[in-house]
Structure 1
Amino acid sequence: MMRLFLVGVALLTLSMTGCKSKTSTNEGGLRVFITYATFRPKCMTLAVEDRRDAARRESGVVTVDAEARSDTRVGVILKQAGWSPDLRVIAEAHEGSCEGPVIARQSADVQFPEENLTDLKLDLRAEDLDDDGFFAMKGDFPGTDCDDTRTDVHPGATELCDGVDNNCVAGESDAPGEVQYWVDADGDGYGDASTTPQVACAPPQGHVTRAGDCDDDDRLVHPDQQEFRCDGKDDNCDGASDNDAFGVGTACLTEQRCTGTRQCQSTEAATCVSTAQTFEYFADDDGDGEAGTSLGFFCEEPEQEATRENNDCDEGTSLVSFVGTTEVCDRLDNDCVGGVDNGLTGCAAVAWNERTVLDDTSARYDAVANYGEGLGWLVGRTGHVIHVNDNTFRPATNCAGNWRSAWAAPNGRVFLGSNDGRFATLMPEELSTACETRPSGQPAAINGLVGFTDPNSNVFTVYGVSSQGHVLSWSYDHGAGSQPAPTIVTQLAANLRAIHGLEAQSLFVVGAEMVNGESRPAAWSSPQTGTTWTREALGLPETTTGLLNAVQVLTSRLVYVAGDHGLLLEKSRDAWTPKPVLTVNGGTVPNLRAFIAFGRTGIYAASSEVNDLHFFNGTAWSVVATPSETVNALGGFGPGEVWATGHDGLLTRWTP
């Protein structure tokens, strides 16, 4: 229901609906729609004049919604006795009250209809951008607001001595002049506190309201900032030189954990300086009780259990240390004294024992899985699965598939990964029965496997990786009647080739990802929490191409990866570093297809281009054997038992 007014014999205010209707006598009338938008009128009026006699004029107040910035009000004008039909209808909006200035007006000349209602629309527009109830001083109907962008500026506002005419009256002449100004000689916005301030409303030339400048000849020196030069001066006027970010003169610890004091290193930086003596500290990263990983030079232990005694020359294996270790024939310097295999007569002459497994030159083996001394499995294409017990070789007769990967549990159970995405498993005593197989849930080749044994049960959990970037898992309960299906742990945007880890919570996977149409080497580590795998920052040039083909975790702090273009990388603690690139045939760089590491100083690798078995002693590469056929996979139960298998049924072993 709206409040409307009616012009008839006299001007009245009535309550009517806004719907169009007719009077009972069908008399003529004007229905006036008054629309306003973007402002809140404090008073709105509607007037009607007889254009033939200006003395005939009636007007009234239109009720408005005080909260509405946009609305439409409706009024009805009926015939007035003695008036001509030539009328002028005028709508006005006022600022503040009906006595306030008109800030919007629209009129229309109309002919009064003889019968029925005729609609007339009037549109009022005014500008109150800051919505403070006062309107801008512009246009044909200016308001009284001298700054329509600020709610604190309008008639009646409190005048402040702030450079603004807050109440739109006589500038700041009516503001109290109680502001102090200090001379600012260097123009940095801060005045010289040693001078006497001037009191004024507007700042005198060269004066500012902020004091505290301790050097008014240098515009870079003033309060409200940090020290920005390490130069023995007070840059921020807080009474101290080179404090804040520099902290010169304060006690500190150097990166070597030595007590010192902070000193200026340059005008841009300070550093902790100490004259204390440092010592080299070492850590036991392979858990054999003896430390050999250099942590650098420090004044005190850089980490728990660090020691100044260097008793381990290979922190990648527990088989090497100065203390309590006997030299054995395994190409490692076990006692860290006198070189590799020192004092072992005939060790250097031990040959690799090469043979064709089961005299089957049609076989191709792509994986080897050892689970004890002299014990293991060879697996490959066209259903070739062989159990090895020293010199006894027994084939599985019912295990069809092109097998790409394998892992053997301590009880001899082998798990296989196929070219078409299947898992399989069998025991050494089940060679004449069919392999137990399970689809992995994805069709791509399972290129690598690693597994773990639950110490509290008979459950083995194997993890595999696929050419389409899947990380897969299969938990197998040895002896149970039924087994759960494998699951997909995650999928990475990569061609994954290998997986390894010492426990399920710290896995590494390697392969390649596509970047601008090229394969780029890439590695990921499993999450400690959550589900997001971490892409390892290998530190390779962006132009490096090819695959990472193999990965091996030696300790919780030592990981190796190998791949195309002779690439061998070591992750020691958190840092990846490249090792010397393998070259063959007068400088040719082959792809590293497979490798097995028994420590920092005992790494075997098979490559493309040649059939050689390569050995890396931590410093340089050498050739230790040249099999008659191509090697696809390497394995072994320890550094004194190394297996290599590949094309044409090849198996060659070094077992001193």
Structure 2
Amino acid sequence: MGAPQNACPMRLFLVAVLASTLAGCSKGDELKSAALKVQVHYEGFRPGCVTLTVTDQAEVSQHVTKDVNVSAGAPPGTLSVAVFRQAGWSNDVKLLAQAHEQSCEGARVAIAEATASLAKDGITPVELLLAATDGDGDGYVVSSEGGTDCNDRDETVGGPKPWYADDDGDGYGNGLLPPRVVACEGPALTASRTGDCNDRDPSVHPGQAEFRCDGKDDNCDDVKDESFDVGGNCFNASQCPGANVCGNDGRVVCNSTVTPTAWYVDEDGDGKAGAVEGQTCGTVPSGKPTVSTDCDESTVYVANGLPEVCDRLDNNCVGGVDEGSTCATLTWRENLLVGGDVVWNAIALHGTQGAWFAGNDLLNYATASPAGLKSFRCTGDWKAAWTSSTGRVYLAGANGQLTTRAPTDPQGTDCAVVVANGNTSTLYGIVGLEQPAGSEPVLYAVASNGSIVRWRSPDAPTVVTQVPANLRAIDGVGTPDTLMAAGFVTVGSQSTIRVFRSNADGSAWQEEPFSPPIEGSLRAVDVVNSRLAFVAGDNGQVLQNYRGMWSALPQASSLGTRLNVLDVQGLAQGKVYVAAGQGGVYFYGGITWDAVHPGLNALRSLDSTSPTNIGVAGDHGTVVYWRP
């Protein structure tokens, strides 16, 4: 029932205001004359909130409730509450104290009840005890007593917490979705932390610095690329002013619209600079030209101001090949039955007119003089030849044999043959290094068993090393560090190419890495200069190495048939001749392979002293020259 007009309602106050409250109603108000001093004790835990409910025992529908938040502090503790008479209530009341974890909305973990009477004037004490177990003192009660502590032996582990979808497994849940569950432990692909702004990328989540410049928010703070000063002023590597932008690799780069000035150097030794050494928006290094005067630094036969000659090169850098000349009417000159119906395995040119030819028990020397062809007695199956600047020829062949002849030697005296101790396998390639030109050369030859032989006449040849390959060719220019040997390795019916390069003194050889391995068999190598080389072999395979980088040229072919390349001669980067086992000389100028000299007889050896002095030799005494 309701309270009479002007009556004080049933009131619950903290005991600190009890004395003043007893005098708070109008004079003569008998409701103020009696009060309960309720002391709620708690032990074993500290509740977050205590709810005290007072109920009229005569009319249980009449009750009043007071929530009291408990201050921090270790248990035990006491809360004091005053309860006064209520108009329309009986003097007998029931008191119920309920303890909650953490807050008034938390789990109820303890209750205490008592009855009391307000019939007697004055203050009547009432004691209530709330007991529960919080073993680790973290504010959560053990679960067996109605609490929610997930581990009551670990104060760092509290009650259940929300778990959010974490599809990318980075430990942060999707910040756009509500919790998947509230529990002590989350299911798979959930996280107790939230705020992930891209739950499909495990590298993107809160709690980290912005780690890549990509126009995206990588740490979910609603700011993109804040660590990278995007848009800020900068200077690039060429000292050109610009603005910071995000690069493709996630790092900040300086983007400049200012064109730097390039400077050039001469790499091929022709006196003209055409290779970019650097560029700057600042001061160009002293003495460095800023205008290119060489359009191809891979050959000394191309530079601004050179005369155009018939060599399939743009000698003068005007953008054309062999322009303004009669080159189109010139042809390769073929001679048959040179020395008879024989097989020439090797040709080695000397000067502008001289040439050595070698084969099985065959060695001839030809010049343009009326004396014609000179035949030398030289027993042996000779596979390769090299000529020094003095015109002396050096031969390598079967059974590891080596020999040498000069054009002025007696023709009827047999060659003196030497063999390196430890190698009797066939030598398929030979090259000499003259330091300086005209001095006694150091010869290097390669064998089918992988042996690499060094020889400086009149000393005996020696095997400097043996590599795991069937070597078929070797070449170099000037110094040992330019030497390159080529061949193959066969396992079962499958062959893969092998290329080896020398160290500075020719004593140690390192295999060139090809990844993945390249199928095929190499038969030839030509080192044009220290920066450019070509290797070639079966099935039209031709590879170029320029400035240390390998690249494959289109496979050499004729009318859809891949050529078996037996020798190769490079002119410049992307420009190369090959001699074909099917017959003919073919040239690649950067687009397609062209038959510059068709033929039916196998051509086995190709040599040149310049792009306008090229010789080829092969079966049936075939010898072909390009000497425009």
Normalized against structure 2, the TM-score is what?
0.60
How far off its partner does 1:343 sit? 2.1
Native 8 Å contact 2:536 2:543 kept in 1:
yes
Native 8 Å contact 2:210 2:226 kept in 1:
no
Instruction: Identify the match of residue 395 of structure 2 among 416, 423, 432.
Output: 416
State whether structure 2 residue 289 is matched by structure 1 residue 289. Answer: no
Partner residue, 2:572 = 599
How far off its partner does 1:451 sit? 0.5
Native 8 Å contact 1:449 1:500 kept in 2:
yes
Native 8 Å contact 1:568 1:579 kept in 2:
yes
Partner residue, 1:620 = 592
Native 8 Å contact 1:549 1:564 kept in 2:
yes
For 1:400-436, what per-residue CA distance to the aligned partner results, in whole angstroms no more than 9, with x for missing partners?
0000011111111111001111111121111332322
Partner residue, 2:367 = 389
For 1:542-593, what per-residue CA distance to the aligned partner results, in whole angstroms no more than 9, with x for missing partners?
4x42211111122221111112221222222122122222221x31112211
Native 8 Å contact 1:512 1:522 kept in 2:
yes
Measured at CA, do residues 647 and 228 of structure 1 come closer, stay the same or move farther in structure 2, by a change above 3 Å?
A: closer
Q: 2 CA distance for matches of 1:186 and 1:236?
A: 20
Q: 1 CA distance for matches of 2:274 and 2:376?
A: 49
Partner residue, 1:399 = 378
User: What letter is aligned with 1:386?
Assistant: N
Q: 2 CA distance for matches of 1:186 and 1:300?
A: 60
How far off its partner does 1:331 sit? 3.0
For 1:117-154, what per-residue CA distance to the aligned partner results, in whole angstroms no more than 9, with x for missing partners?
xxxxxxxxxxxxxxxxxxxxxxxxxxxxxxxxxxxxxx
Partner residue, 2:70 = none
Q: 2 CA distance for matches of 1:320 and 1:444?
A: 41
Normalized against structure 1, the TM-score is what?
0.58
Native 8 Å contact 1:248 1:270 kept in 2:
no
State whether structure 2 residue 290 is matched by structure 1 residue 311. Answer: no
Q: Which aligned pairs between 1:358-373 and structure 2 lie closer than 5 A?
A: 358-361=338-341, 363-373=342-352
Q: 2 CA distance for matches of 1:616 and 1:304?
A: 40
Instruction: Identify the match of residue 452 of structure 2 among 471, 483, 492.
Output: 471
User: What letter is aligned with 2:469?
Assistant: A
Native 8 Å contact 1:412 1:428 kept in 2:
yes
Instruction: Identify the match of residue 581 of structure 2 among 594, 605, 608.
Output: 608
Q: 2 CA distance for matches of 1:305 and 1:403?
A: 51
User: What letter is aligned with 2:591?
Assistant: T
For 1:75-110, what per-residue CA distance to the aligned partner results, in whole angstroms no more than 9, with x for missing partners?
xxxxxxxxxxxxxxxxxxxxxxxxxxxxxxxxxxxx
Native 8 Å contact 1:367 1:380 kept in 2:
yes
Worse-superposed segment, 296-305 or 568-577:
296-305
Native 8 Å contact 1:463 1:471 kept in 2:
yes
How far off its partner does 1:465 sit? 0.9
Native 8 Å contact 1:230 1:242 kept in 2:
no
Worse-superposed segment, 548-557 or 277-286:
277-286
Q: 2 CA distance for matches of 1:301 and 1:576?
A: 35
Measured at CA, do residues 456 and 316 of structure 1 come closer, stay the same or move farther in structure 2, by a change above 3 Å?
A: closer
Partner residue, 2:66 = none
Give the aligned length: 438
How far off its partner does 1:320 sit? 1.5
Measured at CA, do residues 545 and 307 of structure 1 come closer, stay the same or move farther in structure 2, by a change above 3 Å?
A: farther
State whether structure 2 residue 523 is matched by structure 1 residue 549. Answer: yes
Partner residue, 1:629 = 601
User: What letter is aligned with 1:493?
Assistant: P
How far off its partner does 1:500 sit? 1.1
Q: 2 CA distance for matches of 1:619 and 1:354?
A: 26
Matched residues, percent identical?
A: 30
User: What letter is aligned with 2:613?
Assistant: E
Worse-superposed segment, 386-395 or 423-432:
386-395
User: What letter is aligned with 1:414?
Assistant: V
Native 8 Å contact 2:605 2:618 kept in 1:
yes
User: What letter is aligned with 2:301?
Assistant: L
Partner residue, 1:644 = 616
Q: 2 CA distance for matches of 1:527 and 1:254?
A: 37
How far off its partner does 1:248 sit? 6.7
Q: 2 CA distance for matches of 1:278 and 1:575?
A: 28
Measured at CA, do residues 229 and 630 of structure 1 come closer, stay the same or move farther in structure 2, by a change above 3 Å?
A: closer
User: What letter is aligned with 1:312?
Assistant: D
For 1:243-278, what per-residue CA distance to the aligned partner results, in whole angstroms no more than 9, with x for missing partners?
5xx687898775777555654458x82231312334
Native 8 Å contact 1:233 1:241 kept in 2:
yes
How far off its partner does 1:293 sit? 5.0
Instruction: Identify the match of residue 557 of structure 2 among 566, 573, 583.
Output: 583
Q: 1 CA distance for matches of 2:537 and 2:437?
A: 37
User: What letter is aligned with 1:560?
Assistant: F
Q: 1 CA distance for matches of 2:296 and 2:535?
A: 18
Native 8 Å contact 2:213 2:246 kept in 1:
no
Q: Which runs of 5+ in 1 are unaligned?
A: 1-178, 190-204, 206-214, 477-482
